[in-house]
Amino acid sequence: MRTAHLWLAAALAAAGARAGDARAADDGRAAGDERAASDDVKVPAAGSGETFELLAKDARPAADVGVLLGALVDRCADEKRALDRARCQATLAYLRKTLPEHPFATTARDPAAISVSPYDGALKGYRISLTACIACTSPARVGRSPEPVFVTLKKPGEAKPGSGKAGAPAAGAESLAAAVEIMSLPLGFPSQAEAQRWLAEVRPHLRAELVFNATASEWKFRSARGYALGLVAARIVDACTGAVVLSSPPSTGLAPRAAPDDQDCTTAARVAAKAEAGTPGAPPPDDSDEDDEDKPLPAELTRTVIAHSMGRIRGQVFACFERFRVPGAAPLTYEVAGNGTVQSVKLGGALAGTPTGDCIVEAAHAARFPRFDGPVQTFSYPFFLRR
């Protein structure tokens, strides 16, 4: 593992040398040490204006999170020779000073990073969840640790998983993945057959993209032990279409797509996904040829397009009435990003803050819209619940 540390230190130094960071001399650091544009990488507060793309822009790929985390938690006590011990200590000191200055990005390979519930008749679909799992299903080898450990992400200032303290998941979470859930969303479909089609043809292509900073804290959750890196941003994307299903903070564009000849993205699957116009995980409906990427986008969403998208969640909204049997007007105010994803939904009127209203807002987040040429569009749309 000492070799891995030296390799990581050399890679960072080389990257800094290529960047020509002028601040290194001013700060008294070694030549070639690169600083990120911001020294304080944090998860943005709601309404802060930060986007996933902005926070991930300068993130470095983390091919082996275990090696990177090992540089933060390893010790040099097992080095027998004084020279080796001194070299190890100097390398780790450099890495612990340099690594937290840069955001890193990885695509989670752990199957627990994305979870999809069984079909729910009340939702007319599934609930999809994004978790902060880098290694939750099986522990990973981290640095010189004799035993593999679990690896997660946590927001700055968040308590340890399972502690039950403010800002952390409840101690009674049924699993480690549930204890580090970032966000979830209901996915509604016009019919159960279309929901099953999405599960078979789109779900396998979903990927969890995680951006984090190199600050490690140790935690225990029941009998599990592990480390948490600092969460910066996270999202679920369809690797075949680039559609963003979930994102924290919001994404403003499509994600990079897999290569056209990628075996995981067959032509049949891509065509089927596009046929599911408006289905989360597939490109939003725009009644146009989506393969024509040069075609100009409309300046904004039209009334017709909005009504079409609202019609697709009508069943979910009225399921809230069937559940609670409370009639009334449900005026919804949407903020939609230019890539067609919902940024926020607010409910006005007498139902706001009631169980019926909370159900409606949750259902409203499942709406999907076509892309348009603008950052954000705000509009209102009313539903009327009655017997």
Task: Tell me the domain boundaries of the chain.
Answer: 107-275, 303-385
Residue 28: which pLDDT band, with cuts at 50, 70 and 90?
very low
CATH code reported for the domain at 303-385? 3.30.1150
Q: What is the predicted pLDDT for the residue at 158?
A: 57
Q: What is the predicted pLDDT for the residue at 218?
A: 86
Q: Average pLDDT for residues 170-188, to the nearest whole number?
A: 81
- Ranges 29-43, 124-138, 268-282, most confident: 124-138
For the chain, where are the E strands, in sequence order? 60-61, 103-107, 114-116, 125-131, 133-140, 149-154, 181-188, 206-221, 224-238, 244-248, 328-337, 342-347, 376-385
Of 100-104, 208-212, 255-259, 267-271, which range is least confident? 267-271
Q: What is the predicted pLDDT for the residue at 309?
A: 87
Instruction: Dump pLDDT digits (tens) for 319-373.
Output: 788 788 888 889 999 999 888 888 889 999 999 999 999 889 988 888 889 999 8
Instruction: Dump pLDDT digits (tens) for 4-26.
Output: 554 454 444 444 433 434 333 33
Q: Average pLDDT for residues 167-185, to the nearest whole number?
A: 74
Q: Using DSSP bridges, classify how beta strands 60-61 and 103-107 pair: parallel, antiparallel or unpaired.
A: parallel
How far apart, in whole angstroms, are the C-alpha atoms of residue 190 and residue 206?
Answer: 21
| CA max distance for the chain | 82
Amino acid at 16: G
Amino acid at 277: A
Instruction: Dump pLDDT digits (tens) for 95-123.
Output: 778 888 889 999 999 999 999 999 988 87
Is the whole model's pTM more than 0.85, yes or no? no
How far apart, in whole angstroms, are the C-alpha atoms of residue 206 and residue 281?
Answer: 8
Alpha carbon dihedral 237, 238, 244, 246, in 10-degree steps, equals: -50
Residue 321 dihedral angles phi and psi, to the nearest 5°? -65, -40
67: helix, strand or coil = helix
Of 300, 310, 320, 302, the closest CA to residue 362 belongs to 320
Instruction: Dump pLDDT digits (tens) for 121-175.
Output: 887 889 899 999 999 998 888 877 778 889 999 865 555 554 444 334 445 678 8
